Structure 1
Amino acid sequence: MGQPISVDVPHKLGAEEAERRVRRGFGLVREKLGDKLSALDVTWGEGRADLKITAMGQTLRGGLEFLPQAVRVTIDLPWFLAALGQTVVGKIARRTAEVLRLPPPKA
């Protein structure tokens, strides 16, 4: 059984704009981290994205929830990675914050 870890990444964009920027940003994440990831699967839903990330033989599952003033990042870490939980969530939160600072996507 895993250990769920969650962090809110604040923004002032509104939920829809935050989601638009994160959708665009996933392409950049794949470019930057593609050689380190075996798989990055994203399933988009209304106001959320479900994630499955495979790296170094480990699979992490989690999600992003797009709220009016924050993006909530939740990752369910396998028990043997639980000690690294804050580090993993911190890295994902920093990447999410970077994407939120990108210019808005062109229509």
Structure 2
Amino acid sequence: MRENSENVRLTAWVRGRVQGVGFRWWTRARALELGLTGWARNTEDGRVEVVAEGPRAGCVKLLELLRGCDTPGRVDGVVERWSESRGSLGGFVER
């Protein structure tokens, strides 16, 4: 297993009632608390796409929060993809 301090990129697609309920704002706040960079955007099919970069431990925690019961709206499922950090992101924004 890789070290938790290694920088990674997490891409997550969150489905459920996640648009129009403050979900992107909530995700941004959690990501900034964890020291992550990236963005969250609504997709045309009703999901929210989240891209986050930073230490693996922070990305794992964000994924746990996205799957948790304290999110705005209702999360029915999260699909994730892990990749190498590109280091091209600054801050965390809502798109």
Q: TM-score range by the shorter chain?
A: 0.3 to 0.5
Structure ranking higher on relative contact order (CA contacts 8 Å, 6+ apart): 2
Q: Which has the larger radius of gyration?
A: 1
Structure 1 length-normalised TM: 0.43
Higher helix content, 1 or 2? 1
